[in-house]
Structure 1
Amino acid sequence: MQSPTPAAAAPSGGEHPALRFEAVSKTYRGGQVKALDQVSFDIQPGEFFGLLGPNGAGKTSLISILAGLSRASSGRVRVLGHDVVDDYAAARKCLGIVPQELVFDPFFSVREALEIQSGYFGVRDNGAWIDELLENLGLADKAHANMRQLSGGMKRRVLVAQALVHRPPVIVLDEPTAGVDVELRQTLWAFIARLNKEGHTVLLTTHYLEEAEALCHRIAMLKTGRIVALDRTSNLLAGKASTMLRFKTDVALPQDLAPIARVTGRIVQIKAHDAAEVESVLARLRAAGVPVEDLEIGRADLEDVFLEIMQGAQA
């Protein structure tokens, strides 16, 4: 299978980052609300980069500025050296963006929508690549279906195909698997991982932190419009790594353990820094008469690291 060739290449020399955010700030209501505050980082060509943060952290504002849907109050954004304001046409040709919202034209079939999207970018004779997208995203049997007839998950697949139809060197995925089934998640990540291996740069925002941990080379974390962590995924995990006790119980935890536990339904997670602390936690559970099922002792995952950083970062 022939590897796709990016429709837009980096400026001569190849010395530019795939994405560069330079002291980007965004304010609303005459400066009273600050959505982004001096955000600066680079994403290198070929990286799989994660942008994480709670709701309202500024992720969507940053991507909207990158996509040209809004303008930064100050700072600059560049795509492969192209300024998104001063050189917007070249910058947008380099980008393929999958938005959070399900946006579609109800008057066309799936294949027609992809052919029209190709035309927006001036891509001719794109039938073979469209066929490949339809096959890889599980849309081949829906190629001639009207967009209105598709389920939400199928519409999400079409959005991904539309973002990739002009073979952009930089792919931006904004919550691409929100509300979709396991099959689509697996199909999408297999295809995107393949494109990343072929040299495409990927920027991902997601609330599924297990996805970010498995896929992303580096991660930036946003809180209230500021970068509060930026490092390789392995370094973030190593820097905050600790032993985690995970177990299930139907009984309330004793008062001395409840404040330090993370409880999700019947599942309880408690951090312990060493073997002595593990023993202490288990002894306190026994003394309080708390029955424990499915006890596991493991390392912290990205969700644990994320919560610790968010709780420790100053708002």
Structure 2
Amino acid sequence: MSFVHTTVLLNETVEAALTDPNGTYVDGTFGRGGHARLLLSRLGPQGRLIAFDKDPEAVAAATEGEHAIRDPRFAIHHCSFARMGEVLPAGSITGVLLDLGVSSPQIDNPARGFSFRFDGPLDMRMDTTRGESAAEFLARADERHIAQVIRDYGEERFAASIAKALVARRESGQPLRTTGELAELVARSVRTREPGQDPATRTFQALRILVNAELEELEQGLSAALGLLASGGHLAVISFHSLEDRIVKNFIAHESREEVDRRAPFAPPSRVLRLKPLGRIKPSAAEIKANPRSRSAVLRVAERLPLAGGAA
């Protein structure tokens, strides 16, 4: 079955990342290749695009079938963008783009277990070749740990009630196996919810973030991107919820400030500027109308500054 993905902030992200048509670029979240394909179309003959994705289905979309990218300027690696610093040399990249979160093909495929709208296995792994599924986590974690995950990653005020109900069901000999079972249990445990939001939204987000170590990998990936970017290179990151966006915003802010030892105010800064913020972009009203999933997207862009002494 084919699942359609509409790329968010397509032109804005490619334009923000692209500074030299003959440069080398990284798409750290290939997905179904919306950003990658447009970027490739704008590269010159010496340009190069290196993609990463930990979802085997995304890698297959890039390398197999009628929509495969058969361009010698393109390569893709089956691993998280958090590891791109292990694959590429420091200071060698002209631009890095990241489109965070879950893609439409992942959400819309019941077999992946990402959505409460469809009943399917309670999996939620982006990389289905490794790691622990959401069902396996819920089958072993204690009530306190489950509540902490749902509260911290889902910003769910009824986390304790949900965790209590999850553990009670497990102890009754009926552990959760499907997304439908989880959505139903959460609906019974959440007393109120914002208009238009399914009661299970925050719990599903929390478990997905945990299973895929999304926030930890984002922090690692941002640091890796900074190390890879050449002087003048651009970092462009799309986030979809406040936890992601806060990490990106704070990272850019931290790397765009000098640190001075107050005890020695005339000494050189202990940390020099490494990024220059270039702005924040939201989807247009027209894009949100055409693709409601884009409504929460935020694109943040920054430029890599040269290190002291002119080094990249």
More helix by share: 2
Give the TM-score normalised by the residue count of structure 2: 0.28
* Bigger radius of gyration: 1
Give the TM-score normalised by the residue count of structure 1: 0.28
